[in-house]
Amino acid sequence: MIEISQLSFRYREGAEPILQGIDLTIPDGSFVGITGAAGSGKSTLTYAFNGIIPHCYPGDFYGSVTIDGLDTCEASLTDISRLVGSVCQDIDSQMVSSVVEDEVLYGLENFGVPKDQVEGRIAEALDAMGISDLRHRGIAELSGGQKQKVAVASVIALKPRVLVLDEPTAELDPASSLAVFELLARYARENGTTVIVVEQKIALLSDFADMLLIVDGGKVRFQGTPSEVLEHSDELLEIGVNCPRSTSLVNRLRARGLVDAPAARNVDEAVRACKQVLSGKGVSA
Amino acid sequence: MIEFENVSASYDGELPILRDVSFRIPDGDFVAFVGTNGAGKSTTMRLVNGLLKPSSGQVLIDGVPTTQLRTSQLAAKVGFLFQNPDRQICCSTVREELLFGFRAQGRADAEAEAKVDAMIERFGFDGDAEPFLLNRGTRQLLALASIIVMEPPVVVLDEPTTGLDFRECAKVMDVIAELNARGTTVIMVCHDMEVVADYAKRVIAMTAGQVVADGETFAVLRDRDVLARTHLLPPQVVDVSLRLVEDGAVAAASPVALADTLDEMTDALAAAAGACERTGVR
């Protein structure tokens, strides 16, 4: 369980707080999507989960963040990183080895994982990301999508309770982006891991997340299931968040009184709502 | 006019990245190249601006092969926006960045200064600002502005909206659409099919170094076979209309089946629902 209470943070060089009075409870095993306009504070919010603030970036930190009861202000970064695994926005800055196997091994050695468990952990992590065949490949020769999967595999090999990813699909094509989300969702489901993803591709978040957070001006403006949050498509647009087109379509049909379906999270749900409209059963009598 | 005639290309002289690619892009076109990572799209862009020369076949810019053009000649004809603006920005102020291209071509005269001033005003930049202290979206706009201030007849954009939020994306794309409306040829690599659907006139779909489809934007984005071969997902409204036809909910020639945009689809469904009500289905 992650609990954030009245969290505010101002970077030392910043004039205004980048996060303001955030209260949040994330149950174990949740798949949380975070989005918002540039500069809204969403990346800084991820730094609160993995202890980067207050441990690495100096500033004024108010309130508290606890991960499974561990207060991130009081715990060392090493202790936090045993619970929370992070994948950076810039994958290349995260890679330290030249071969895939060594990259996964690096974290395991640093965490002092017993030698007899290492092989199993490497094989399991590569398999979970569907990249067992890349084990002996050079990282420099991998595509962006493959590197992304290596970065995630290196972190999940450490078996964190919480996985935090900042825009993991920014440079990936649609098929690779979808594949990364499918692998993350499956891994989280099978292992009970909490996954927190910051992402601009709201269509992916709305399809996979069970909790969606919209950050604006350092505050969580909307929070709930994707369907609950996406009901507010007009207000979201005002703060620079565009809903998936499937959501906008159903919201428009509802505004015209043609259907009373909830906000569509994906194309499947939009197709279902459209069929109700076409069959004359969009609105219950 | 840009012409690719049976172009093959390789980075190491052995592994072919592009294989026998041919197409023509007339002046004023707006073409989006789509396909998975590694399909050869960025390689194609590098061939257009001469950063890479073909290993066989030829790339012609206004009838002249790129192998016969000097880098400065090519740069004057084809502006190139990198995917990551930080690989492009190299000066210590916004004004210097916008003047960089003119300086490189020995044309940093009063006319260039006037063009830079106009660009600063148009984009609302602070000319004295340090580029690397700007946010990602503004750096992308600066990189784009530093290309278009030179007024090249062709601009090549490698994933111009990657990492931008919705508002930043719309701002960048609106500038590009305006350029195209004034006659500039736009060639863009883009992974966001909603952006492609909103802005491009034509789509060239690639996979494994070859062109698999070349046509009007929605003709390509509605072709399930092409989408499957290139591992692409259609824009969501198109996907909805294709699915409604495939599931037999509407006829293939109905307005719902032909709706490409959110407006068209909403209106078509509202009309269909109205017809339903009139015929007493409800």
pLDDT band at B282 (very low <50, low <70, confident <90, very high): very low
Q: Label residue B208 left, alpha or beta by phi (over 0 means left) and psi (-120 to 50 means alpha).
A: left
Decide if A66 is inside a domain: yes
Are residues A221 and A87 part of one domain?
yes
Is residue B242 within 8 angstroms of chain A, CB to CB? no
Query: Tokens 């069959």 sit at which residue?
Result: A279
Q: Domain ranges in chain B? A: 2-217, 235-282
Are residues A277 and A185 part of one domain?
no
Print the domain residue range for A12: 2-226
Cβ pair A270:B277 closer than 8 A: no
pLDDT at A283: 64
β-sheet bridge partners, residue A269: none
Mean pLDDT across the stretch A33-60? 92
Helices A115-128, A100-110: axis angle to 10 degrees equals 130
pLDDT band at A13 (very low <50, low <70, confident <90, very high): confident
Is residue B52 within 8 angstroms of chain A, CB to CB? no
List the structure tokens of A209: 């997340």
Q: Is the pLDDT assigned to residue B39 strictly greater than 70?
A: yes
- Based on the number of CB atoms within 10 Å of its own CB, is A257 exposed (0-12), middle (13-18) or buried (19 or more)? exposed
List the structure tokens of A198: 């910051």
Q: Is the pLDDT assigned to residue B278 strictly greater than 80?
A: no
Are residues A252 and A186 part of one domain?
no
The answer to whether residues A163 and A156 touch, using CB atoms and an 8 Å cutoff, is: yes
Q: Which of B20-34, B42-56, B207-221 has the lowest mean pLDDT?
A: B42-56
Mean pLDDT across the stretch B161-169? 85
Are residues A250 and A200 part of one domain?
no
Write out pLDDT tens, residues B231-275: 999 999 999 999 999 999 999 999 999 999 999 999 999 999 876
Are residues A168 and A281 part of one domain?
no
- Right CATH number for B2-217 from 1.10.579.10, 3.40.190.170, 3.40.50.970, 3.40.50.300? 3.40.50.300
Q: Domain count for chain A, please give it.
A: 2
Mean pLDDT across the stretch A169-179? 82
Mean pLDDT across the stretch A233-254? 92
Residue A132, min C-alpha distance to chain B (Å): 20
State pTM to two decimals.
0.88
Cβ pair A280:B273 closer than 8 A: yes
Is residue A200 within 8 angstroms of chain B, CB to CB? yes
Q: Report how far residue A23's alpha carbon sits from residue B30's, in angstroms, rounded to the nearest whole number.
A: 47
Share of chain A above pLDDT 70, in %: 98
Q: Which residues of B touch A253 (CB under 8 A)?
A: 266, 269-270
Mean pLDDT across the stretch A276-284? 78
pLDDT band at A284 (very low <50, low <70, confident <90, very high): low
